[in-house]
């Protein structure tokens, strides 16, 4: 399973799902499963609390029964802009980065087909596109370290591998070996094979090595779902619906990592290496399918209750990984052999392609909406999702993901997400506010971190006979961690991150 070796190197990122994420299979299972409540600016301003509401194209994704409340056909278009902010703190050095991106969170067409026979009052068919996840972000980090170097990690990873395996490796440890960063003990005729550092084995074992570490992470991409949904209406009391969803994902992770300014306290003249640089890029594409069923019941005019069930999404995924390691030597007499390293050396390779399947967990959502006569409403949802149920598989004989699936079972847990929103009506105007919490998905007895995400939202809308326009402003925030490499004892350098995402979006709709 050569294509899976790289997951050891890229470390751990614990962050907003719209921000940074690690490239281990375990972390990606969460990244692609932890989608957000998508939809129109109206529903986003309400915190995504929409399971018991209806009459909005967002129902196709959240609860297709809501399409049964349409009494006219409709077309909508939703543009938006996202602002991403990341504060990275590493070894006392803080760096702030901000980026922005124009997006299209939604597009829809709903065709209403009325009927007045035997209590069935007709329904509506909807086609919609909804952005359900955002992966765009950028961060830099730097700091001075006297504890470890990534060369130490390369050595640990190389133990037990033959020189031939390293020289033919397509991954960073092998590339580091080809760059002379560590050597085989048999180089000196030793009886046993083990690896040692060229720049990390100090001239004096009691010496202390210092280095400057710098890195950057850039991610981009998104998940979208195309929904083909129908919602029906029975006597304006009971609404039912179903949706076939086609989900797509595109995700690119690019990292750079460098070390420089090596200094040894007891031997300051020992300076063999000016710098080392590692670059990695991972491109992931996938297509999946799911089914959502839903109902809404209106026992009295001022109350609606709803429930929806979304099956797991079954993805077929292709990823492409490549890396480059380069070194700039400082006229180094290589281990006293007389071979002088005085120029840049580098190793890279053609992308490694992998194909596999991912099944994300099912979701169960319950909602209630209370209507305050003509003044507006209050809506609330709870969503149940068990991230432990994410699972990988391969159609290629002999390839197993048992280890990754066991790690998913151990790392994650059942969670309940909460959403609440309110709308106040003043003639043709609508004023909205909402709040939602995506609870911590981690089993804290295994992974001691809180990765919950809080989102505050507000918005305003105008409703006319043939036209409407809604605006929403959302702000999500959370904290996270990143490790560029992790040793077998779970130690390694750590970057503490504070992440925020601010989104402005506008839905323009026409009814006919």
| Confidence check: pLDDT of 292 > 80 | yes
Query: What angle, 0 to 180 degrees and rounded to 10, lies between the N-to-C axes of helices 25-33 and 402-411?
Result: 60
Chain segment 213-246, per-residue pLDDT in tens: 999 999 999 999 999 999 999 999 999 999 999 9
Closest CA to 82 of 217, 215, 222, 218: 222
| Low-confidence winner among 106-115, 167-176, 275-284, 306-315 (lowest mean pLDDT) | 167-176
| Confidence check: pLDDT of 359 > 90 | yes
The rounded distance, in Å, linking the Cα atoms of 139 and 21 is 12
Closest CA to 180 of 165, 168, 196, 194: 196
CATH code at 2-461: 2.40.160
Looking from the CA of 377 toward its CB, the CA atoms found within 13 Å total 20
The rounded distance, in Å, linking the Cα atoms of 71 and 112 is 6
How far from chain centre, in Å, is Cα 83?
16
Domain edges within the chain:
2-461
Tokens encoding 49: 């609390």
| pLDDT for position 258 | 96
User: In this structure, what are the phi and psi dihedrals at residue 119, rounded to the nearest 5 degrees?
Assistant: 85, -15
| Confidence check: pLDDT of 7 > 60 | no
| pLDDT for position 444 | 84
Looking at the chain, the number of H-run helices and the number of E-run strands are 7, 24
DSSP secondary structure of 39-76: --HHHHHTTT--TT--SSTTHHHH-GGGGGG--S-EEE
| pLDDT for position 189 | 56
69 contacts 239 by C-beta, under 8 angstroms: yes
| pLDDT for position 13 | 42
Average pLDDT over residues 118-128: 93
500 falls in which pLDDT band (50, 70, 90)?
Answer: very high
| Confidence check: pLDDT of 22 > 50 | no
| pLDDT for position 257 | 97
Average pLDDT over residues 350-360: 91
Q: Which residue has the higher pLDDT, 161 or 234?
A: 234
| Low-confidence winner among 263-267, 314-318, 323-327 (lowest mean pLDDT) | 263-267
| pLDDT for position 188 | 56
| pLDDT for position 496 | 92
The rounded distance, in Å, linking the Cα atoms of 73 and 47 is 25
User: In this structure, what are the phi and psi dihedrals at residue 75, rounded to the nearest 5 degrees?
Assistant: -130, 135
Average pLDDT over residues 74-99: 95
Chain segment 369-423, per-residue pLDDT in tens: 999 988 999 999 999 999 999 999 998 888 889 999 999 999 999 999 999 999 9
Compute the chain's Rg from CA coordinates: 27
| Low-confidence winner among 173-177, 264-268, 300-304, 463-467 (lowest mean pLDDT) | 264-268
Chain segment 334-347, per-residue pLDDT in tens: 777 778 888 777 77
The rounded distance, in Å, linking the Cα atoms of 434 and 44 is 8
| Confidence check: pLDDT of 447 > 50 | yes
| pLDDT for position 299 | 96
Average pLDDT over residues 356-361: 96
The rounded distance, in Å, linking the Cα atoms of 255 and 481 is 15
| Confidence check: pLDDT of 289 > 50 | yes
Average pLDDT over residues 51-60: 95
* Strongest mean pLDDT among 19-28, 280-289, 327-336: 280-289
| pLDDT for position 485 | 92
355 contacts 317 by C-beta, under 8 angstroms: yes
Q: What percent of the chain has pLDDT over 70?
A: 92
| Low-confidence winner among 202-206, 257-261, 396-400, 498-502 (lowest mean pLDDT) | 202-206
456 falls in which pLDDT band (50, 70, 90)?
Answer: very high
């Amino acid at each position: 399973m050569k294509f899976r070796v790289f997951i050891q190197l890229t470390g751990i990122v614990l962050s907003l799902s719209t921000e940074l994420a690690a490239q281990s299979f375990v972390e990606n299972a969460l990244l692609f499963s932890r989608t957000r409540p998508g939809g129109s600016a109206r529903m986003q301003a309400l915190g995504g609390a929409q399971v018991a509401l209806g009459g909005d194209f967002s129902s196709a994704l959240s609860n297709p029964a809501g399409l049964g409340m349409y009494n006219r056909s409709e077309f909508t278009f939703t543009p938006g802009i996202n602002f991403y902010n990341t504060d990275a703190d590493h070894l006392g050095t803080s760096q702030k980065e901000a980026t922005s991106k124009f997006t299209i969170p939604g597009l829809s067409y709903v065709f209403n087909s009325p009927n007045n026979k035997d209590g069935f009052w007709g329904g509506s068919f909807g086609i919609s596109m909804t952005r359900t996840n955002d992966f765009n972000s950028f961060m830099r980090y730097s700091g001075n370290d006297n504890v470890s170097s990534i060369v130490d990690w390369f050595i640990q990873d190389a133990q037990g591998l033959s020189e031939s395996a390293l020289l033919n490796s397509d991954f960073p440890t092998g590339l580091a070996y080809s760059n002379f960063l560590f050597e085989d003990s048999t180089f000196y005729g030793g009886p046993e094979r083990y690896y040692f550092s060229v720049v990390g084995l100090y001239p004096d074992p009691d010496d202390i090595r210092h280095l400057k570490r710098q890195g950057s992470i850039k991610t981009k991409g998104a998940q979208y779902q195309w929904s083909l949904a129908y919602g029906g209406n029975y006597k304006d009391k009971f609404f039912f619906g179903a949706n076939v969803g086609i989900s797509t994902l595109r995700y690119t992770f690019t990292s750079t990592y460098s070390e420089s300014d090596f200094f040894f306290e007891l031997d300051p003249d020992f300076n063999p290496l000016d710098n080392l640089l590692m670059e990695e890029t991972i491109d992931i594409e996938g297509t999946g399918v799911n089914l959502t069923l839903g109902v809404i019941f209106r026992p009295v005019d001022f109350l609606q209750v709803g429930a929806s069930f979304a099956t797991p999404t079954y993805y077929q995924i292709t990823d492409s990984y490549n890396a480059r390691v380069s070194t700039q030597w400082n006229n180094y007499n290589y281990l006293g052999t007389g071979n002088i390293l005085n120029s840049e050396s580098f190793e890279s390779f053609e992308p490694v392609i992998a194909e596999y399947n991912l099944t994300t967990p099912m979701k169960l959502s319950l909602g209630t909406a209370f209507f305050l006569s003509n003044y507006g409403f209050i809506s609330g949802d709870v969503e149940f999702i068990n991230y432990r149920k994410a699972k990988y598989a391969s159609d290629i004989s002999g390839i197993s993901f048992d280890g990754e699936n066991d790690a998913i079972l151990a790392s994650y847990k059942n969670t309940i997400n909460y959403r609440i929103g309110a709308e106040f009506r003043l003639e043709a105007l609508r004023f909205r506010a909402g709040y939602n919490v995506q609870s911590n998905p981690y089993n804290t007895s295994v992974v001691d971190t809180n990765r919950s995400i809080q989102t505050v939202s507000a918005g305003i809308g105008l409703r006319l006979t043939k036209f409407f326009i809604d605006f929403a402003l959302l702000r999500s925030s959370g904290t996270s961690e990143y490790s560029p490499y992790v040793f077998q004892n779970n130690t390694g350098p750590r970057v503490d991150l504070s992440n925020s995402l601010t989104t402005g979006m506008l839905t323009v709709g026409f009814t006919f």
